[in-house]
Chain A
Amino acid sequence: PPPSSTVAPPALPPYFIKGSIIQLADGELKRVEDLKTEDFIQSAEISSELKIDSSTVERIEGSHTSPNFAVVQFSVGEHRAQVSVEVLVEYPFFVFGQGWSSCCPDRTTQLLELPCTKLSVGDVCISLTLKNLK
């Protein structure tokens, strides 16, 4: 058996747990594991404040802070702005046309039961910005 970890995982948001009920912008309810790319796109189209941006994964590194964290660098939107986020390795991102992906999908599946693939450089994730950001 694999060695047991004594590190307590930091809490992830509850809505990523398999079976969580998500409300789309048109009021429709779906389970988190059933969400499709179109659900996010259509919800953003309805939204008056939010718009979807494409965020391409440029780099994935281990965090200096903790082995439980990773630093993911994205190139965001048409201006390809560089944004880095430090997240738990099991934190899921939604990849266009693919679905939930994380730096450590085994851990995501173990902790959340959320079906998940490996987040890789070049993946295009769904992210949000404000529509009227000036």
Chain B
Amino acid sequence: NVEPRSVPVFPWHSLVPFLAPTQSD
């Protein structure tokens, strides 16, 4: 019998770079 392993789950936004331009209002 193979014990089920807990698999890490990553949120979708981890995979997307945060390219936040500086904005002036």
Contact = CB atoms under 8 A, between A and B. Distances in A.
Contact of B7 (A21, A32, A133): A21
Contacts of B25: 134
Contacts, number: 79
Interface secondary structure of A, over-half rule: strand
Given A47-B13, A128-B13, A21 B19 contact: no
B19 A22 contact: no
B16 A13 contact: no
B23 to A, nearest CB: 6
Interface in B1-25: 7-23, 25
A81 B15 contact: no
B21 A128 contact: no
A22 B12 contact: yes
A128 B23 contact: no
B19 A32 contact: no
15 contacts: A13-B14, A14-B8, A15-B10, A20-B8, A20-B10, A21-B10, A35-B12, A40-B12, A50-B13, A52-B16, A76-B19, A76-B21, A82-B21, A128-B18, A129-B18
